[in-house]
């Protein structure tokens, strides 16, 4: 029999698996859709680096903790040295202005490459995902771009049996367990975007795996399932300096019911923004961020739990640091990530 603290950790892991998703959950994916869709790779005309940390259901022992590093960049002389989004070297006009939208035209065809490293710990289970990404962007009309992307890498799952304390230390459940595995992983996505909107579809974890962790008698403790995402966003101008950015995300992860997120961000020129989010049967979130310079931006979100865990959870915190490398036009705000 499990001791009480460990049992709580295992239950948290099971809840995370059963009611959310096998992959980590984010609130600030709306500012880094690259985490969910490889077609976003190379969408900006600079090298986009992000470092993120999320502590979910704080106050609960064994609750999920996620950290990630992501980087992606465009490839192609026509794109990086001059396209519809290429401003004069002095920085040019505010990218949120109406004239930018009026004069917008689709980007020159170009490639994008990227890399992600994500670690997620929930109770005694540690998961690490490493992936390289590639995307190709093509202007299919004068103002519409279409990108197709793929990701490929490995997923590592480790069950820390030292955290499992049993009354019977020779319990058959842990005898000869394969608790340290690497599995191949892949995903794909499509991203259509213009000057003030985007629509994307993607799939993660598409290589079927019979099990992550197995005992000697081949009983399955968990199986991988594909994760499918459909997302869209639109930019609404309240003035040349203030914009509303509503967006939504649908998640399809069998056998759990289809769920969705709804988000709203209000941006003030290219200096700072505030926003909110709603995740069905899970949480409400408040978000805020600052574009400190043409090199660094930072954002924070806090989720208020609305699920059955609300009586024992102090909510979830997420912090993201963004770095804009090779930013030759000195932009202080993304043009396509908003």
Using one digit for the tens of pLDDT, what is the confidence trace for 223-238? Answer: 788 999 999 999 998 9
Q: Is the pLDDT of residue 18 over 50?
A: no
- Contact between 151 and 186 under an 8 Å Cβ cutoff? The reply is yes
CA distances, 124 to each of 77, 263, 272 (Å): 48, 32, 39
Q: Pick the residue with more confidence: 246 or 283?
A: 246
Q: Is the pLDDT of residue 99 over 90?
A: no
Give me the half-sphere count of Cα atoms (radius 13 Å) on the Cβ side of residue 265: 26
| Residues 37-65: tens digit of each pLDDT | 999 999 988 899 999 999 988 777 778 89
Least confident of 143-152, 188-197, 279-288, 300-309: 300-309
Q: Is the pLDDT of residue 6 over 60?
A: no
- For residue 214, the model assigns a pLDDT of 56
Question: What average pLDDT does range 13-17 have in this prediction?
Answer: 43
Residue ranges of domains in the chain:
4-325
Least confident of 14-18, 208-212, 215-219: 14-18
- Contact between 41 and 150 under an 8 Å Cβ cutoff? The reply is no
Q: Is the pLDDT of residue 311 over 70?
A: no
| Residues 106-137: tens digit of each pLDDT | 777 899 999 999 999 887 888 999 999 999 99
- For residue 14, the model assigns a pLDDT of 44
User: Exposed, middle or buried, 287 (CB in 10 Å: 0-12/13-18/19+)?
Assistant: buried
Question: What average pLDDT does range 303-329 have in this prediction?
Answer: 83
Q: Is the pLDDT of residue 7 over 90?
A: no
Q: Is the pLDDT of residue 10 over 60?
A: no
| Residues 141-190: tens digit of each pLDDT | 888 999 999 999 999 988 877 777 666 666 666 666 777 888 899 999 99
Average pLDDT for the chain: 81
Q: What is the pTM of this model?
A: 0.84
Q: Is the pLDDT of residue 318 over 50?
A: yes
Taking the domain 4-325, which CATH number applies?
A: 2.40.160.40
CA dihedral for 20, 24, 27, 29, sign (positive or negative): negative
| Cα of 220 vs its chain's centroid, Å | 28
């Amino acid at each position: 029999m499990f001791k009480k603290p460990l049992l709580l950790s295992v239950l948290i892991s099971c809840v995370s698996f059963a009611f959310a998703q096998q992959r980590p959950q984010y609130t600030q994916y709306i500012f880094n859709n690259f985490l969910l869709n490889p077609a976003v790779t190379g969408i900006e005309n600079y090298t986009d680096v992000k470092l993120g940390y999320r502590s979910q259901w704080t106050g609960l022992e064994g609750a999920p903790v996620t950290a990630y590093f992501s980087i992606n960049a465009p490839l192609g002389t026509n794109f990086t040295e001059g396209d519809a989004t290429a401003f004069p070297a002095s920085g040019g006009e505010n990218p949120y202005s109406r004239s930018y939208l009026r004069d917008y035209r689709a980007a020159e065809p170009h490639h994008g490459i990227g890399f992600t490293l994500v670690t997620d710990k929930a109770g005694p289970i540690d998961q690490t995902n490493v992936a390289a990404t590639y995307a190709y962007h093509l202007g299919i009309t004068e103002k519409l771009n279409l990108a197709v992307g793929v990701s490929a890498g490995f997923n590592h799952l480790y069950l820390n049996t030292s955290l499992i304390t049993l009354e019977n230390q020779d319990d058959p459940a842990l005898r000869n367990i394969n608790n340290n595995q690497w599995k191949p992983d892949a995903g794909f996505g499509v991203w259509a975007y213009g000057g003030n909107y985007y629509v994307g579809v993607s799939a993660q974890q598409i290589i079927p795996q019979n099990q992550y962790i197995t005992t000697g008698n081949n009983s399955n403790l968990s199986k991988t399932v594909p994760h499918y995402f459909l997302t869209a966003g639109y930019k609404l101008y309240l003035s040349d300096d203030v914009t509303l950015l509503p967006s939504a995300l649908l998640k399809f992860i069998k056998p759990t019911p289809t769920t969705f997120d709804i988000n709203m961000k209000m941006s003030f020129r290219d200096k700072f923004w505030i926003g909110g989010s709603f995740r069905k049967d899970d949480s409400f979130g408040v978000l805020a961020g600052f574009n400190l310079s043409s090199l660094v931006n930072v954002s924070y979100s806090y989720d208020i739990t609305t699920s059955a865990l609300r009586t024992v959870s102090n909510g979830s915190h997420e912090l993201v640091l963004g770095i804009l490398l090779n930013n030759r036009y000195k932009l202080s705000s993304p043009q396509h990530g908003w």
